[in-house]
Amino acid sequence: MKLLLDGYRALSNKPEDYEKAAKNIYDLLKNQFRRKYRIIKTSLDLCTRCGICTTQCFLYETTGEEIYNPIYRINLLRKLIHERKSRFYSIFHRGRKNKDNMITAEELHALAENIYRCNMCRRCSMACPFKVDNALIVREVRDLLSRLNIAPRDLHEYGALRQLKYDAVISMNKAAFLDIVKFMEEEIKEKRGFKIEIPVDKKGAEYLLLNVASDYIRILEDVMGIIEVLDYLGVDYTLSTEFNDASNYGVFYNDDYLAQIIRRHIEVAKKLEVKKIVVGECGHATLSLRVFKDVVPEAREFEVISVLELVDEYLRRGKLNLDPSKNRELVTYHDPCFLTRIIGLIEEPRRLLKASVLNFVEMEPNREYNYCCGGGGGIAVMYSNNFLEWRMKVSGRKKVEQIEKTGAKIVATACSNCKRQLKDLAFHYKAKWEVYGVLRLVANALVY
Amino acid sequence: MSSSFLDVFYLFFPYVSVSLFLILSIYRLITWFRVPMDIKWPLSPTPKTNRGVVASILKELVTFSSLYESDDIYWLAIIFLHFSLIFILLHVVSFLFNSMLAPDPISILRTTLYPATKDWLEIWTILIGFIAITSLLYILLRRLLVKEVREITFLRDYTELVLLLVIFILGTCMRLFNLVSMEEVVEYFLSLASLNPIKPPQNPIFLLHCLLAQLYIIYFPFSRCFHVIGYFINGWIVRKGVR
């Protein structure tokens, strides 16, 4: 099988997998893909290929290569859907004229690689006159291919499967988690001078706080920030030892794992008899429990909010006493795509930041027009093959330029994936800025 | 081809094309509405109320604001094209209405928009034809010359554009050189509308223009031009985040 697209590889599947998948894809297309969401059908029919989205796609802007054109991948899919219909139809389409009009293994490989290049940031939909939803199309194609066993290792084996097996994407058992909680209590005591108690497995609390498990290892300060703020406000919350990982890689690629993981979250919430679920600083975790919770019918009884909304509510009621002079450095805010363009948390983090830092500067463009960090759509957790290099050199370049232009010393953001990508970028480009969670800065500015 | 065959053809083909247009449009809509919309996945920031959603859809419909933000020359071409299409539709409809009902709303609108003396009407029609042709030419050239658009274009995109362009050029030529009189055309269309068709005006350009226009409306439900209807559906889903 010849090398398609560019030299980078997101997927580690073998050529046999693609050959097998190319035979079976049509049944799935007919029975699942095309009957799922109306917006996918209308989007594929409506796109006039006017090319407006190409002006918005930061990947295309960075590379200028045809394969990163937002419509290119949709065209690949369109070929897949339409060309088998009839010979007559296919003369209107450019490209393949093989014997049975079947997709070849190479073409399927190209499609599979290509859909794992999309960051699902939805900037293209913002500009599209017909609001063609490329991100949802990409997600559904990923879902389709994952049913044919084509999925990146980092999302599937090291992600969803591991989470279901070990309760967390990183394997963290109960003892380790309790250790971390204890460590956090000690750290906060050292910093603040008084001891706080972090509730774990408390039954009947109002909120269940779910954080991304890898945050407990990589960026404990951000988790501590959330806990400090919640403790300051006197929120009745609890952590869980069981299934405490909020992340849900099913959002990025597969409905079945999505539903399984949501079910586990809901089980925990029911067991601890909480009323609401608060998701920590994470875009896709909030999305999974808020937008996709309808996949699991029993999930509807729980209200799911982001921790930003919760704290912002207190801020607006004047319960949060903040001293901005404790954060003197220039801070900018990076809008995580899922939080901004799907859930719509745009002003909440800004209000929090403006109240807790002295100098705040906006990136250009900002809010719903912000560029993706280059790690959206699950790409931030993909390290296999040479994909890290792609994330650094191709998808993250625009963001680095954008941040450098502001001259900020601290990039605040509210998404675990964005933080991971931005930290990787800062390391790769030897940047002078640091990545903080929004609530870490808020916790820093608290006046006791 | 004998002229008698042509006459017979133009007596029944308009009915075929209009009914095909209606049937195929309904078929297309059914294929859309058969698929459930089972996801709450809005494009934030979204309007809070239903009224806000409708207002936002209408605002974009009139101003084409998302195009303006990305590419202003293209926006200008698109604005000109769409508004000239609307003008021409109004023009045709107002002629038909004018002859069927005495004081009809559309001709009142037309007379308030521009002086309805015969010369002015001619000039307006020609002018609008030229505007539409220019904008179509720009869109076609953009497709051919701009790299990011060219690399995603299918053959059918060119076909649709060229078809529309030819229809406009023939129509404008007809008015420019006064090949057929407006009265004849109106008479022919009215006879079609009253199910009692007469012979069409005998001019090859008019006949070709008429034929291509009919082919266009047959193809319409399967062309990209069906965005006229899809715009509202997609706009509603995306702004509402419907479940």
DSSP code string of A261-297: HHHHHHHHHHHTT-SEEEE-S-HHHHHHHHTGGGGSG
B119 touching A (Cβ < 8 Å): no
What is the number of alpha carbons within 13 Å of residue A196 lying toward its C-beta?
Answer: 24
Which residues in A lie closer than 8 A to residue B223 (C-beta atoms)?
A: none
Domains and CATH numbers, chain A: 6-151 (1.10.1060), 169-315 (3.40.50), 320-444 (3.40.50)
What is the rounded distance in angstroms from the CA atom of residue A133 to the CA atom of residue B232? 14
Nearest residue to B18 (alpha-carbon basis) of B159, B229, B221: B221
Whether residues A72 and B227 touch (CB distance < 8 A) is answered with: no
Whether residues A342 and B66 touch (CB distance < 8 A) is answered with: no
User: Residues of chain B with pLDDT > 90: what percent?
Assistant: 25
**Backbone φ, ψ for residue A4 (5° rounding):** -110, 165
Locus of tokens 């290569």: A65
Interface test with A, best of B148, B162, B236 (most A CBs within 10 A): B148
Q: Which residues of chain A have pLDDT under 70?
A: 1-5, 83-101
Nearest CA in chain A to B159: A92
Whether residues B159 and A37 touch (CB distance < 8 A) is answered with: no
Whether residues A38 and B66 touch (CB distance < 8 A) is answered with: no
Nearest CA in chain B to A72: B152
Bridge partner list, A184: none
Q: What count of other Cβ atoms lies within 10 Å of the Cβ of residue A175?
A: 9
Q: Which of A72, A122, A343 sits opposite B152 (nearest CB)?
A: A72
- Supply the pLDDT for residue A89: 47
- Supply the pLDDT for residue B117: 57
- Supply the pLDDT for residue B243: 45
Confidence check: pLDDT of B104 > 60: no
- Supply the pLDDT for residue A65: 84
Q: Name the DSSP letter for residue A200.
A: B
Confidence check: pLDDT of B105 > 60: no
Beta strands in A194-249 (DSSP E): 207-210, 237-238
What is the rounded distance in angstroms from the CA atom of residue A376 to the CA atom of residue A395? 10
Whether residues B148 and A60 touch (CB distance < 8 A) is answered with: yes
Nearest residue to A123 (alpha-carbon basis) of B33, B108, B66: B66
Confidence check: pLDDT of B95 > 60: yes
What is the rounded distance in angstroms from the CA atom of residue A309 to the CA atom of residue A279? 10
Instruction: Name, in order, each residue with C-beta under 8 angstroms of A396's C-beta and a sequence gap of 6 or more.
Output: A373, A374, A375, A421, A424, A425, A428
Structure tokens at B231: 């715009």
Interface test with B, best of A82, A114, A130, A370 (most B CBs within 10 A): A130
- Strand A237-238 and strand A207-210: pairing? parallel
Confidence check: pLDDT of B238 > 90: no
Q: Which of A131, A292, A294 sits opposite B234 (nearest CB)?
A: A131
Whether residues B39 and A122 touch (CB distance < 8 A) is answered with: no
- Separation in Å, CA of B42 to nearest CA in chain A: 6
Rg of chain B over all Cα atoms, to the nearest angstrom: 20
Please report the residues numbered 17 through 76 in chain B whose beta carbons come closer than 8 angstroms to any beta carbon of chain A: 28, 31-33, 35-46, 60, 64, 66-67, 69-71, 74
Q: Which of A52, A341, A343 sits opposite B71 (nearest CB)?
A: A52
**What pLDDT, in 10s, does the model give residues A230-280?**
988 988 999 998 888 888 898 898 888 989 999 989 988 999 899 899 998
Whether residues B155 and A343 touch (CB distance < 8 A) is answered with: no
**What pLDDT, in 10s, does the model give residues B160-188?**
899 999 999 998 888 888 788 777 887 88
- Order of strands across the sheet with A237-238? A237-238, A207-210, A276-279, A303-306
pLDDT top residue among B2 and A154: A154
Whether residues B44 and A341 touch (CB distance < 8 A) is answered with: yes
In single-letter form, the type of residue at position A75 comes to N
Please report which confidence band the pLDDT of residue B48 belongs to, taking 50, 70 and 90 as the band edges: confident
Q: Which of A55, A93, A122 sits opposite B154 (nearest CB)?
A: A93
Confidence check: pLDDT of B134 > 90: yes
Nearest residue to B57 (alpha-carbon basis) of B68, B69, B46: B46
B116 touching A (Cβ < 8 Å): no
**What pLDDT, in 10s, does the model give residues B210-225?**
899 999 989 988 888 8
- Separation in Å, CA of B235 to nearest CA in chain A: 6
Locus of tokens 């896709």: A284
Contact criterion met (CB below 8 Å) for A171 and A162:
yes
Nearest CA in chain B to A33: B35
Whether residues B154 and A94 touch (CB distance < 8 A) is answered with: yes
Please report the residues numbered 126 through 165 in chain B whose beta carbons come closer than 8 angstroms to any beta carbon of chain A: 142, 146, 148-149, 151-157, 159
Mean pLDDT of chain B: 82
Which residues in A lie closer than 8 A to residue B43 (C-beta atoms)?
A: 122, 125-126, 131, 133, 341-342
Size of the A and B interface in Cβ pairs below 8 Å: 148
Please report the residues numbered 171 through 230 in chain B whose beta carbons come closer than 8 angstroms to any beta carbon of chain A: 224, 226-227, 230
Global ipTM: 0.83
Phi-psi map region of A236: left, alpha, beta (phi>0 left; psi -120 to 50 alpha):
beta
